[in-house]
Chains A and B, each alone.
Chain A
Amino acid sequence: MDPRAITAEPQARRPDTVPGLGRSLDSQEMVINMGPQHPSTHGVLRLELVVDGEIVVDVIPHIGYLHRCFEKHCEHMTSYQQVIPYADRLDYVAAMSNELGYVVGVERLLGIKVPERVEYIRVIMAEFSRIVSHLIAIGTYGMDIGAFTPFLYCMRDREHVLDIFERTCGARLLYNYMWVGGLSHDVPPDFQESVRRFCRYFKPNVKELNDLLSYNKIFVERTANVGVLPAAVAVNYAVSGPALRGSGVHWDLRRDDPYSIYDRFEFDIPVGLGLKGTVGDCWDRYMVRVHEMEQSVRIIEQAVEQLPPGDVQSAIPKRIRPNAGELYARTETPKGELGYYIVSDGTASPFRVKVKAPSFVNLSALPAMCRGAMISDVVAILGSIDIVLGEVDR
């Protein structure tokens, strides 16, 4: 079998392939830089677009503008705990999820078990951060397509979650909340009530969002059948998260490789069905996020009802010295599969931490989706895979 067969890329729509046009017209390809300062690259990403008029012939992403040497930093920490604030800054819109992935990995390496209450609070927080991240993804996606108002509606809802975070750990964006073996603070006394209040408040807002944006005719026209990523190609590119599920692949680490206590909750895994166009188009990826928010609310509702009492700091080890060994721990963050490959040599600081960032991998599939699209579609596709440059560049 030809190893390349699986990733055959769509042929670009070029004017010279249109019969009767093309060869006679003297046209030239133009190279145009999208970014690093551009409102739709969601950060300091530079896309080198080779365009033929409005049609994109090729996209060459250039990353690294936000490289902060996360992996090098990890090797120079004096303790495993010290990595957590840096992990926050990977995907800074869903910091709780990054922490969860890291602490789960280190705890497995250490072989310790954390109290039930910690597990439940972690799940609630991780799901909250999924909602927050998806709200930003959806809001900014609307803005990429040209609808400004949904963005502020999403930000309004996000504010309520951030309030809960703030009252729990004092921070609104970068929490340093989950520690190896426990949490930095217990939740406030009225936590359960405020979570329930948020769930009640949030559910109708998803419908409002659907009315305003998801099923808007123009929005559907702009996103359906655009940037189609077939399932086989998506898996080959190791695309993960909503981008993979949008392609119709039923794959969610919370169910397929359970960590923490996700196996105790009932939730569905939304996948792209191609309702408005082709399976794996931008609309599917977008809609998976909307449904995932609803599922996250479901998980939170279950978790908050079962929240057991207890101490959240009892299991935090005084000194963390895992035995020499290594582990690839992966969790499902809002962006996709976040993997920490942690290698321990028996000392107090990690020998090597490699982060497999979902945005990094998802972004690498961008050129395959963009060829033959139009410039406006590049914006739509980039928004639909929802990258965070903090995580891409690390």
Chain B
Amino acid sequence: MLGEVLRKPDKGKSSGVLFGDHERYVDWDGRSEDPQGSPGGALRRELEAGHSSPITEYTITQTAMKELLLGIFENPVIVYTLLALVPLIFVIPFALFAVWWERKISAHMQDRLGPMRTGGWHGWAQTIADILKLIQKEDIIPSAADRRLFKLAPYIVFAGSYAAYAAIPFSAAYIGSEINIGLFYVIAISSIVVVGLLMAGWASNNKWSLFGAMRSAAQIVSYEIPIALGLLAVVMVAGTFDLQEINRMQSGWFWNWFMFQKFPFLFLAMIVYFVASLAEVNRTPFDIPEAESELVGGYHTEYGGMRFALLFLSEYANMFAVSAVASTVFLGGWNSPFGSFLSGPVLGFFWFLAKGMAFIFVQMWLRWTLPRLRVDQLMYVGWKVLIPFGFVIVFGVGIWTLAVR
């Protein structure tokens, strides 16, 4: 899969990708016949067979990178470890930026300025200074805490949110691992976070933390379902779990994005997904596991210094992960909104980032506008509103697909 050669269909080709045409690209029977078994095989075969208009080609840089690294180290373990660290180049600066950005957004929404001093222009270095402070702080572990779990928990939380980045297509030229169950993998792996949160809450030996952990477990487990249903609707249209494949299907003008397909079902699916993803990442109005004014800080009450920074980092990493999935699945990911205009692997990264940031902006906007739900109301929203809606959407899409066929 890593050695895949991607082809990006141009505007003229892709305008008919959707509305039932997708079976041309995703050939369920044909996949087993594909010698590599790779998900893009059907597409490639078809393209090679000359059914389509001219295509532009580019090779994934990571293949070259992998081969280069293999040449240097001659040890696949080191090479894959290094490759696994690549998204970190994005995640850490992103988290630093996002914390600063959130402060500025909240400040301007609240009629104030936010950080203005550190670093000069609009306090851009504030979060860097903060992280330096957090690194230097004494590492305090409560004497009554379960030391091993307490130390382990932030890493599990971070691992859970970071692992999702493996399957997120940053650009046409870069995806950590183009697995054919990418979407499935992202949903599944991000649930590991809840294990870490429960661990953190339990190990802190603090009743408030425990409350936060129990709430977060209930919440994340409940909201997995609407998330899965919202994404399932897209999968039914796309016929694949492969995120890169889903991206390619949405190429062309912005009305090819899945958000606007099978209107209004997939649009509603996006809303269901977005609302549920807020709960998944513990953002207002679903931030009851942290609930600053009730539980003080929930599971991270007892954490300080670097461990707290890690929890914080994973929170922001998680925020971007769900936004990235939303932008990939509903907003065309790295596709330019204007067909082939302004597209390409580098600009694709820009578009992907822009869409993800747009989602994050909405998350922040909601956070600084809305109050917090109570825990029973949260469950009500999840089980009695979002899940039925999700089912309606799934049925609607299914019936539409069948009827059109």
Contacts and interface: CB of A to CB of B under 8 A. Distances in A.
B234 interface: no
A147 B287 contact: no
A144 interface: yes
Contacts of A148: 106, 110, 368
User: Main SS of the interface on chain B?
Assistant: loop
A147 B370 CA distance: 5
A219 B293 contact: no
Interface stretch (A149-157, A241-249, A287-295, A354-362): A149-157
A143 B296 CA distance: 12
Nearest to A32: B207
A218 B275 CA distance: 14
Interface in A166-215: 212-213
Contact of B285 (A142, A156, A218): A218
A39 B296 contact: yes
Interface string A346-385: 0000000000000000000000000000111101000000
A156 B111 contact: yes
Interface in A98-147: 142-147
Contacts of A212: 369
A54 B371 contact: no
A376 B378 CA distance: 12
Given A149-B109, A152-B112, A219-B371, A39 B376 contact: no
A376 B211 CA distance: 11
Interface in B181-220: 207-208, 211
A218 B371 contact: yes
A40 B297 CA distance: 12
A152 B111 contact: yes
A30 interface: yes
Given A40-B293, A153-B110, A156-B111, A374 B374 contact: yes
A32 B208 CA distance: 8
Residue with the highest number of chain B CB atoms closer than 10 Å, among A40, A213, A218: A218
Given A148-B110, A153-B110, A221-B377, A375 B371 contact: no
Contacts of A377: 374
Residue with the highest number of chain B CB atoms closer than 10 Å, among A32, A146, A148, A222: A146
B172 interface: no
A221 B377 CA distance: 8
Interface in B337-395: 368-377
A27 interface: no
Contacts of B292: 39, 146
B266 interface: no
B264 to A, nearest CB: 22
A216 interface: yes
Contacts of A219: 371
A124 B207 CA distance: 47
Contacts of B109: 149
Given A222-B374, A374-B374, A379-B293, A146 B211 contact: no
Contacts of A379: 293-294
B173 interface: no
A146 B284 contact: yes
B79 interface: no
A38 B211 CA distance: 15
Nearest to B373: A218
Contacts of A213: 371
Interface in B269-312: 284-285, 287-288, 291-294, 296
A218 B286 CA distance: 11
B372 A374 contact: no
A138 to B, nearest CB: 13
A216 B371 contact: yes
A216 B370 contact: yes
B123 to A, nearest CB: 18
B106 A376 contact: no
Contact of A218 (B111, B291, B296, B370): B370
Contacts of A40: 293-294
Nearest to B374: A376
Contacts of B288: 376
A143 B374 CA distance: 14
Residue with the highest number of chain B CB atoms closer than 10 Å, among A40, A54, A218, A376: A376
Contacts of B372: 145-147, 218, 222, 376
A147 B372 CA distance: 7
A153 B292 CA distance: 19
Contacts of A38: 296
Contacts of A144: 293
A369 to B, nearest CB: 16
A208 to B, nearest CB: 11
Given A38-B296, A212-B369, A375-B294, 15 more contacts: A30-B207, A54-B211, A146-B371, A147-B370, A148-B110, A149-B110, A149-B369, A152-B110, A152-B112, A156-B111, A218-B373, A219-B371, A222-B373, A376-B294, A376-B375
Which 5 A-B pairs rank lowest in CB-CB distance, beginning with the nearest?
A146-B372, A152-B110, A147-B371, A145-B371, A146-B371
8 contacts: A39-B292, A54-B211, A145-B371, A147-B369, A147-B370, A376-B288, A376-B375, A379-B294
